[in-house]
Structure 1
Amino acid sequence: MQIIRKANQSDLLALATINTINWRETYADILPDEYLNTLSVSEIQKKWQTFIDSPVTTLQVVEIDNEIAGFVATSDDDQIENATYVDALHISNRFQRKGLGTKLLNKVLEEAHKHNKRVTIAILKGNENARNLYTKLGAVHLEDFTDHFGSVVTKSERLIW
């Protein structure tokens, strides 16, 4: 059975593990190994804890047969008025290509539209799988920008619905 629900304390390890593995695999050809090897499940777990604790962020999981398959994290966009920012969308590798990312994102879009909000997301240049999904779901280019991950400088893109 598949459900989408609000994340809780007991989900944090699974979310952080999915997040860490996805970053290491997705960005292996985009970000240097020196950076990817510094990613820590425990540090990422702390990040998602702040999303659970905050009243202005959301963290939702998709669960299949009581196993966490992925998650989406959102917050208020600090650059665009009346917009929701998708901080992260991750699906565990073994559950990818089953429409779960689309379902999670559609849930975010529906909730934002109920409140007459736009939705934004940032992606690293070169992450074509993500870009293809988002544009297929109606996102359009907003801007290119330079991002920083530790001492690593990247070329990134913001999309908007």
Structure 2
Amino acid sequence: MKSSKSSEEPSIRNATSEDAAAIASIHVKSWQSAYADIFPAEYLAGLSIEARTKAWQQLLEDNQNVTLVAEANGAIVAWASGGLSRDADGNGSSELHAIYVLPAYWGKQIGAALMSGIEAVLHFAPKTTLWVLRENHRAIRFYEKFGYVADGTQNELERGGVKRWEIRLQKTNNKQVA
């Protein structure tokens, strides 16, 4: 019998353009919490859910990548997006572009369920990569649990007038590619 710890298992599904506002809200709220000690408070406070909603509506309508959402307790609480690698040296690799969970759901296995879902979609490639801020230790630990390791590639990123480094992690997929 399952523990009563979680009254509802998360439901993972493909996102639709109707999900754009929920995805944008999660995107902004997650950034504001996860990066509070990494980027300036003024920059994070200025992130616009409305602007992100418009961007997400366009991305979801263009249907260039896969975006999944996780629902729990009747609401979208997390999302993940991925597709072909955007890196110049991607060579047919897949890339986890982003995964975000509402802070209230951190540590409740929503991210793990969503990660398993997006990895199943990205498994077509011999390896999957992702980029993460070097200072985001919580996220790095999460990815390491799924077998991702740093490959030595770094990229400088500027947000809110502050420069930070992203590192690339990668994971070899078990699927045999003919």
Question: Is TM-score (shorter-chain normalized) higher than 0.5?
Answer: yes
Partner of 2:108: 98
Tell me the amino acid that sits aligned with residue 138 of structure 1: G
1:123 aligned to which of 132, 141, 149:
132
Partner of 1:149: 159
Higher Rg: 2
- Report the count of equivalent residues: 160
> How big is the shift at 1:95?
1.6
> How big is the shift at 1:109?
1.8
- In the TM superposition, 1:8-157 aligns within 5 A as 8-79=16-87, 80-113=90-123, 115-142=124-151, 143-149=153-159, 151-157=161-167
After superposition, the C-alpha distances for 1:132-152 in whole angstroms (9 at most, x for unaligned) are 010111001022221233643
Tell me the amino acid that sits aligned with residue 64 of structure 2: V
Partner of 2:3: none
Q: TM-score, normalised by structure 2?
A: 0.82
Would the aligned equivalents of 1:56 and 1:76 in 2 still touch at CA under 8 Å? no
Q: TM-score, normalised by structure 1?
A: 0.90
Q: CA RMSD in A?
A: 1.7
After superposition, the C-alpha distances for 1:8-39 in whole angstroms (9 at most, x for unaligned) are 22222111111111111111111112321221
Give, in whole Å, the separation in 2 of the partners of 1:54 and 1:11.
14
Give, in whole Å, the separation in 1 of the partners of 2:131 and 2:12.
23
SS at match of 1:49: helix
| Residue identity (%) | 26
SS at match of 2:164: strand
SS at match of 2:60: helix
Tell me the amino acid that sits aligned with residue 50 of structure 1: Q
